[in-house]
Amino acid sequence: MSSDLTLYHWEPNANSGKPMLTLVEKGVSFNSHYIDLLAFDQHKPDYLAINPMGTIPAMTHGSRLLNESTAMMEYVEEAFPGPAMMPDDPVDRWRVRWWMKFLDQWLCPSFSMIGWSIFIGPQVRARDPRELEAAIERIPLPERRIAWRKAIYGLFSAEELAESRRRVDLGIGMLEDALAKREYLGSNQYSLADINLFNSAYGLPSQQPDDVNDEKTPNIMRWLRSVARRPAVKQTWTYSRVPRFAERILPLIEEATA
């Protein structure tokens, strides 16, 4: 492993999965440092000394600290040799960046809100209330404290959840249309846009089987299987420690390689 590159991550999905999969696709060796989000490791002094924002993922490369998952993906693409994760054509590059912005600012936050409301909150809610409050107070960023309180105590409003579901439904339609036109999301070349999306969308067939399936969304299913077939995806999932997440990805991987 490279002694000067360390990735601090949770499960190999969502934001943590994005730079991890990019590193593996590029063939870049790195030191893996698992941060248990459910134990609030990201808000403890040892990690805050590395990333004062208290967010995951983060990466150190020599003396440099890098955070924000999409910017980290682009850094890895530009800083290291290996297979290109961005197309050469300027229009395709624009489309890749368009989709990544759409995912980061519009669609994936809705995936996240639903996931936090049905998984993250219930996982930690049963803990000692005083420990939970102390953990929340250690969160450096005020907006993250608000998000954690909403997730832990079930405070997402009906209107917020309804809007997230509306966006997910609309986003599924947009993805299906885009993948009917091209093999991959941004172009006919696998790119950072596919890495960005796959790490949040791999669970759609199991989470929303009535909406994402071979009959209603054949292009999304084709794309999911194509990405799941990649050796780098299988490698990143060896870093998983939460069975519930692995249970969602493994059937897709097994189906893709059958």
CB pairs under 8 A, 24+ apart, for 49-56?
50/8, 51/8, 52/140, 53/140, 53/141, 54/138, 54/139, 54/140, 54/141, 54/144, 55/141, 55/144, 56/8, 56/9, 56/10, 56/15, 56/16
Question: What's the rounded Cα separation, in Å, for the pair 129 and 121?
Answer: 13
Question: What's the rounded Cα separation, in Å, for the pair 22 and 78?
Answer: 11
The structure tokens listed for 190 are: 């696998």
Question: What's the rounded Cα separation, in Å, for the pair 178 and 71?
Answer: 23
3 state DSSP class of 34: strand
**Tokens 């993922």, residue located:** 57
Task: Report pLDDT digits (tens) over 46-88.
Answer: 999 999 999 999 999 999 999 999 999 999 999 999 999 999 9
- Stretch 88-97: mean pLDDT, rounded? 98
2 versus 214: the higher-pLDDT residue is 214
- Stretch 159-176: mean pLDDT, rounded? 96
Q: Where are the domains of the chain?
A: 5-79
Question: What's the rounded Cα separation, in Å, for the pair 193 and 195?
Answer: 5
Question: What's the rounded Cα separation, in Å, for the pair 212 and 178?
Answer: 15
Residue 139 has pLDDT above 80, yes or no: yes
Selection from 129-138, 144-153, 215-224 with the highest mean pLDDT? 215-224
Which DSSP state fits 14? H
What letters, b where the CB count within 10 A reaches 16 and e where it falls short, cover 114-137?
A: bbbbeebbebbeeeeeeebeebbe
Of 17-31, 49-63, 86-100, 139-153, minimum mean pLDDT range: 139-153
Residue 257 has pLDDT above 70, yes or no: no
Question: What's the rounded Cα separation, in Å, for the pair 99 and 107?
Answer: 10
CB 132 within 8 A of CB 124: yes
The structure tokens listed for 54 are: 């208290």
CB pairs under 8 A, 24+ apart, for 206-210?
206/248, 206/251, 207/248, 208/168, 208/172
pLDDT of residue 256: 63
245 versus 175: the higher-pLDDT residue is 175
3 state DSSP class of 32: strand
Query: For the domain bounded by 5-79, which CATH number is listed?
Result: 3.40.30.10
